A and B are shown apart, each in its own frame.
Chain A
Amino acid sequence: MVQVTSPAFKQNAARALADAGLQKALGKAKGAFLQRRAEAVGRLPEFEALRDIGRDIKNHTLANLDFYLETYAANVERAGGTVHWCSTADEARAAVLEICRKAGAKTVTKGKSMISEEIAVNDHLEKHGITPVETDLGEYIIQLRHEHPSHIIAPAFHLNREDWEADFRRMHTDLDPNRVFNERRDILAEARTKLRSRFLAADVGITGANFLIAETGSSVIVTNEGNGDLTQTLPRVHIALASIEKVVPTLEDATSLLRLLARSATGQDFSVYTTFSTGARRPGDLDGPEEYHVVLIDNGRSNMIGSEFQEMLRCIRCAACMNHCPVYGATGGHAYGWVYPGPMGSVLTPSLVGIDKAAHLPNASTFCGKCESVCPVKIPLPKLMRHWREREFERHLTPTGMRRGLGLWAWFARRPGMYRLATRMGVGALSLLARGKGAFRSMPLAGGWTKGRDLPAPEPGGTFMARYTKMQRAGTVR
Chain B
Amino acid sequence: MSRDAILHSIRRGLKRGPLPADQRAMLDGRLATHPRHLIPARSRVPRPEQVALFIHNVEKEFGSVDRVADAAEIPGAVADYLAAQNLAPRFVMAPNPELRALPWADKPLLEFEARRAEASDAVSVQHGYAAIAETGTLMLPSDPARPTTLNILAETEIVVLRTSRIHGAYEEAWDTLRRERTDPVSGGFMPRNVMLVTGPSRSADIEQTLELGAHGPRRLHIILLDDDPAAMPAA
Identify the A interface with B (CB < 8 A): 25, 28-29, 32-33, 44-46, 49-50, 53, 57, 63-71, 73, 75, 78-80, 85-87, 91, 135-138, 141, 154-157, 159-161, 164, 183-185, 187-189, 192, 195-196, 199-200, 214-218, 224-227, 229-230, 233-234, 244, 249-253, 255-256, 258-259, 266, 268-288, 292, 296, 298, 302-307, 310
Contacts and interface: CB of A to CB of B under 8 A. Distances in A.
B38 A256 contact: yes
Nearest to B150: A287
A185 B215 contact: no
Contact of A161 (B196, B201, B202, B206): B206
Q: Which of A25, A226, A259, A280 has the most CB of B within 10 A?
A: A226
Interface residues of B, number: 83
A227 B214 contact: yes
Contacts, number: 286
B41 A275 contact: no
B34 A252 contact: yes
Contacts of A135: 215
B195 A273 contact: yes
Interface of B is mostly: loop
A187 B207 CA distance: 12
B228 interface: no
Contact of B5 (A29, A46, A87, A269): A87
B78 to A, nearest CB: 21
B116 A287 contact: yes
Contacts of A303: 9, 13
24 contacts: A29-B207, A45-B41, A64-B19, A64-B23, A66-B18, A66-B19, A80-B185, A137-B206, A154-B204, A156-B206, A192-B215, A195-B215, A217-B190, A218-B194, A224-B203, A225-B215, A249-B31, A252-B35, A252-B171, A259-B40, A270-B135, A274-B196, A282-B143, A302-B9
B229 interface: no
B215 A230 contact: yes
B186 A137 contact: no
B205 A154 contact: yes
A63 B207 contact: no
Nearest to A304: B13
Interface of B: 1-3, 5-7, 9-15, 18-19, 23-24, 27, 30-31, 34-38, 40-42, 57, 61, 95, 115-117, 119, 135, 137, 142-144, 147-149, 151-153, 170-171, 174, 183-209, 211-217
B106 to A, nearest CB: 27
B7 A184 contact: no
Contacts of A279: 185-186, 192
B11 to A, nearest CB: 6
B152 A252 contact: no
A73 B7 CA distance: 12
Contacts of A25: 207
Nearest to B174: A251
B60 to A, nearest CB: 8
B195 A229 contact: yes
Given A195-B215, A225-B214, A229-B148, 11 more contacts: A32-B204, A46-B40, A71-B31, A138-B203, A230-B153, A270-B135, A270-B196, A275-B193, A287-B116, A287-B117, A298-B6
Contacts of B190: 79, 216-218, 276, 278
